[in-house]
Amino acid sequence: KSFLSHTAYLPCYFANSQKTDTKDFRVFWQNGHEVVHEVYYGQEKHDNLSPKYINRTKMDMDKWTLQLLNAGIGDEGQYKCIIQHSEKGSPKVIHTSECSLHIIANYSQPEIAQLHTGKLKPNEHLNFSCSSSGGYPEPEEMTWLISHENKTHRLTYHMDVSQDPVTKLYNVTSKLSIPVPTSTLINVSCLLRLGEQLGTLVSEPLSI
């Protein structure tokens, strides 16, 4: 996993237990049919690289890890590391491994907005929206928390999700409608569940 626009570290999982000189290896990194990086007997080779990876990769031969600079959502996918060793003149594959790259972008703190103006009477409804933006991957769920007199109710409504066609980042909104409270003070907040890697985000509570 890597944060958007940060450096992603892709491991090759190669122990080099024989302590062979790195100049005796050829190392290839691929993403599907695209060549991501090549090290040819100690020298980095750029002839065959896919244009999107030019000047964006560095191989740490001590840790056998590829650094992918300025990682973007378009870089997500399966990366394959292939290591060849030359014996008696002909290179032989001695190691292959794969790793999967997932990009993460932080969502903004959810914000609640009131969708009504003027004075409300009993029996009418309060309408709210809760929004968060600029995150990746797609969130799992948005939940409303309504607290009064030490009790909290959780309500889950439909979450509108839109994805920016250029940045591929997601914006989310959910709407809530509740009867006007007659006497007690209530607190309304909303919770955005983002899955394992990002946890949950909660809005500032709104007191009514």
Domain co-membership, 55 together with 123: no
Domain co-membership, 137 together with 151: yes
**Residue 71 belongs to a domain with what CATH number?**
2.60.40.10
Domain co-membership, 127 together with 84: no
**What was the pLDDT predicted at 196?**
75
Domain co-membership, 6 together with 100: yes
**Domain boundary at 73, 104, 135, which?**
104
Q: What is the pLDDT of residues 101-152, one digit of tens each?
A: 999 999 999 999 988 777 777 778 889 999 999 999 999 999 999 988 888 8
The alpha carbons of the chain give a radius of gyration, in whole angstroms, of 26
Domain co-membership, 95 together with 15: yes
Q: How confident is the model at residue 37 (pLDDT cuts 50, 70, 90)?
A: very high
Q: What is the pLDDT of residues 64-80, one digit of tens each?
A: 999 999 999 999 999 99
Domain co-membership, 113 together with 195: yes
Return the number of other C-beta atoms located less than 10 Å from residue 51's C-beta: 6
Domain co-membership, 124 together with 66: no
**Domain boundary at 53, 80, 104, which?**
104
Q: Looking at this protein, which amino acid is placed at residue 156?
A: T
Domain co-membership, 98 together with 114: no
Instruction: Return d(Cα 37, Cα 44) in angstroms, integer.
Output: 8
Instruction: Return d(Cα 93, Cα 132) in angstroms, integer.
Output: 48
Instruction: Return d(Cα 56, Cα 19) in angstroms, integer.
Output: 28
Q: Contact, 144 vs 154, CB < 8 A?
A: yes
Q: Which two tokens stand for residue 9?
A: 């570290």
The domain tally of the chain equals 2
**What was the pLDDT predicted at 89?**
73
Q: E strands within 32-167?
A: 34-40, 43-44, 57-60, 65-68, 77-87, 90-101, 103-104, 111-114, 125-135, 141-148, 151-156, 159-163
Domain housing 36: 2-104
**What was the pLDDT predicted at 133?**
96
Q: Which letter does DSSP use for residue 133 in this model?
A: E
**Domain boundary at 85, 104, 123, which?**
104
Instruction: Return d(Cα 99, Cα 116) in angstroms, integer.
Output: 50
Domain co-membership, 6 together with 36: yes
Domain co-membership, 113 together with 189: yes
Domain co-membership, 120 together with 72: no
> Is the pLDDT reported for residue 198 higher than 80?
no
Domain co-membership, 154 together with 194: yes
Find the range with the poorest average confidence among 39-43, 71-75, 199-203.
39-43
